[in-house]
């Protein structure tokens, strides 16, 4: 089994799901008392949020790249960045390490394509929905990516930062998300990507009428496949 290095804490509400999914899947596949071989760097998310809001992406990239190297120094052969939004600096991290970096958007695109879906809705932070770093990666895999119109886009972003990363899961927010998803489906979306790891705390597959792609689970399972494959 290869050792997995997790860059987490962005936020810890979803990062603990990475650990749970990885450990559960390793035990399922290997049996007995097996669990994942992990090293974790978990951040104070307030520091990362400050860099996001300031647009200090270069500084954030240097920080995460340095810590990815530290994870490698601790024996990690695979690096997993446990957040969609911070994949904005994925290239900086990937160029700084010797081992394998598993890109979250690639794992997601593979699952969407395998499901036979071409047009997909993307929910996430404003950075993920509006900027090119994530959408272009999905588009390069042949997907037609749709994001919510305003004011839905602002609502999706605000619920993430004002509620989900703080551990607040509210029924009224779930209803607002599902209404936004219904509008995207009416616009032709054949599936929905939960493009922020915290969204899976609010919206689950059984809530959605079309195929649902939870990026935390897809990314974590891709990490297990790399570690065991």
| The one catalytic residue among 83, 108, 197, 215 | 83
83 is catalytic: yes
85 is catalytic: no
d(CA 14, CA 83): 8
| The one catalytic residue among 196, 197, 215, 216 | 196
Q: Which residues are catalytic?
A: 83, 196
């Amino acid at each position: 089994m290869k050792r997995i290095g997790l860059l987490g804490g962005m936020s810890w509400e979803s990062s603990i799901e990475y650990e749970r999914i990885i450990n559960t899947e390793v035990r399922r596949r290997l049996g007995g008392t097996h669990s994942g071989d992990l090293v974790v760097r978990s951040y104070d998310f307030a520091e990362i949020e400050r860099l996001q809001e300031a647009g200090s992406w270069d500084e954030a990239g240097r920080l995460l790249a340095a810590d990815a190297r530290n994870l490698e120094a601790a024996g990690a052969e695979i690096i997993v960045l446990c957040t969609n939004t911070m994949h904005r600096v994925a290239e900086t991290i990937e160029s700084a390490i010797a081992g394998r970096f598993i890109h979250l958007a690639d794992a997601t695109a593979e699952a969407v394509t395998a499901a036979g879906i071409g047009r997909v809705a993307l929910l996430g932070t404003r950075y993920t929905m509006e900027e090119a770093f994530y959408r272009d990666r999905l588009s390069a895999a042949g997907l037609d990516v749709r994001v919510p119109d305003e004011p839905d886009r602002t609502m999706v972003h605000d619920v993430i930062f004002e509620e989900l990363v703080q551990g607040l899961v509210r029924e009224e927010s779930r209803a607002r998300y599902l209404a936004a998803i219904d509008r995207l489906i009416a616009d032709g979306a054949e599936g929905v990507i939960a493009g922020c790891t915290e969204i899976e705390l609010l919206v689950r597959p059984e809530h959605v009428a079309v195929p649902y792609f939870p990026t935390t689970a897809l990314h974590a399972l891709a990490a297990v496949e790399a570690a065991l494959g």
